[in-house]
Amino acid sequence: MNEYQYSTEIPGGGHWSFRMRRGTQLRLTDLHGGGNAGMLFYNPENLLERYNAPDTLKCQHTFRLSRGNCLYSDMGRIFASIIEDDHGWHDTVCGNTRYSHIAEKWGARDYQHHRNGWFQNGHDAFLVEMEKYGLNRQDLAANVNWFSKVATDKEGNLYLDDTTARAGDRVVLRFEMDTLVILHSCPHPLSQADSYPALPIQVELGLAAPIASDDVCRNWCEENQRGFQNNALYHLGT
């Protein structure tokens, strides 16, 4: 299945949200290279269930997210599986830019003076989308930053490696349960770009193929097999 029924472009510094159904998939494309897409996940039937970065990392013994990895909720279930990935390494620990980060790095630009050329920040962008569903800063969890490779050196120092970014890099998420997705396309907080990187992200939505017995995500590790069993229990009778 590669038929995407809906396609849209989120301009750099934008935000959006949508409800994905179980069995659908989402393809993100970093159109120009060097883009960043911040993302959070909630269970729309129980907003208290949300993406849990620590469980996602430790269940799969990884600090980076890539093809084969699953995105876990705090309830031991899988929101989505990363079934394709050109980029190879996505961050889920650095959080977001704030107004002060943007002003310090690239100067303050506001809507009054710059209209749609203003510099939005990831923190506020998330809050705006979250409030639409009754969620607020208390519900803000550690988010994924797609297309941003954040590695560490031996001492644990973090750095954003932007040398791997290529125009057209894609990542595909297959949803394993109904999921509210909150998205922004603001810069990564460790970005060292000379000017505010207002880089668009393409979003495509479609139906996922049935999960095959050799599925790369389910078979990635024993932990993921158990995560899928938890989802099967959640969906019992459906």
Partner 1 sequence: MITESQYDDKAVDFREMVAAGDYFLHTLKKGQVIRILDLEGNQAADTLFFNAEDPGERYSAMDTIREQGNVYLTAGSVLRSNENNPMLEIIADTCGRHDTLGGACATESNTVRYALEKRCMHACRDSWMLAIAEHPEYGLDKRDISHNINFFMNVPVTEAGGLTFADGISAPGKYVEMRACMDVIVLISNCPQLNNPCNGYNPTPVAVLIWDQ
Which residues make up the interface to partner 1 (CB under 8 A)?
A: 48, 52-55, 57-59, 61-64, 72, 74-77, 89, 93-96, 98, 100, 136-143, 151-158, 189-190, 223, 226-227, 229-230
Least distance from C-beta 226 to partner 1, angstroms?
5
Would you say 96 or 185 has its CB closer to partner 1? 96
Give me 30's structure tokens: 């970093």
Q: Which is nearer to partner 1, 40 or 205 (CB)?
A: 40
Residue 90 CB, nearest distance to partner 1 (Å)? 10
Q: How far is the CB of 205 from partner 1 (least distance, A)?
A: 28
| C-beta of 4 vs 133, nearer to partner 1 | 133
**Do the Cβ atoms of 118 and 111 come closer than 8 Å?**
yes
Cβ atoms within 10 Å of 21's Cβ, excluding its own = 13
Coil, strand or helix at 85: strand
What whole-number distance in Å separates Cα of residue 3 and Cα of residue 5?
Answer: 6
* Amino acid letter, residue 4: Y
CB of residue 58 to partner 1, shortest distance in Å: 5
Q: If you write DSSP's letter for every residue of 120-134 in order, what string do you get? A: --HHHHHHHHHHTTT
